[in-house]
Chain A
């Protein structure tokens, strides 16, 4: 398990190599990459996103989520990295990797992982567009 909240994400290929090494039972690795979209939900041109986190609680919450996913889906390992600070359009802001024996539990658990990340983990996102700025709340 690797959890990182940082202004700089690691190289995705390094994360892939790392998770592959965690067990020789792994037959599937599903990867989610979140990046900054250039057009907002209101159709405005996005200039950048700004993230902030309550880091120690965010890390603990992510640990609990991964433990739940291991129990529920039997996945072998998971990695999550989330950016904080300013992110330009096109920049990667989230890497989530789930390693499992088979693809089915990998896909299912990754969907739940990202949904819970968005709704439970204390990370906030401000969208700055050419028309102004607003905090985005996933409620």
Chain B
């Protein structure tokens, strides 16, 4: 088994009601598996909002690109501080941060 930590920020943290949590997953689990299956399974009440916040959806279904990879909606996924695509295979001890579109600075503009 592989143990990973997932960190949430902004609207996603608010949606799930948690800042970070751990997941135990089997070998060869990808980021896409984590985001599309493991996290929604643990947060069933928020599963639909989660998928619609994170992914491009068409009539409620997550859209995929020509390679069959789900299409993220303006979010960045960092693993150990580096951007990874959804085919990345999780490694034991990974810290995964799911970043909504940023919005720092003042509200001056």
Contact = CB atoms under 8 A, between A and B. Distances in A.
Interface string B45-84: 0000000000000000000000000000010001001000
- Chain B interface size range: 20 to 34
Most chain B Cβ neighbours within 10 Å, of A34, A49, A124, A138: A124
Contacts of B78: 54, 57
A54 B107 contact: no
Contacts, number: 87
A53 B103 CA distance: 10
Contacts of B97: 54, 57, 122
A125 B104 contact: yes
Main secondary structure of the interface of B (DSSP, over half): loop
Interface string A56-67: 111010000000
Contacts of B101: 137-139
B61 to A, nearest CB: 24
20 contacts: A34-B106, A37-B107, A41-B107, A52-B10, A54-B9, A54-B78, A57-B97, A114-B105, A122-B99, A122-B102, A123-B103, A124-B10, A124-B11, A124-B104, A125-B103, A125-B104, A125-B107, A135-B10, A138-B103, A139-B101
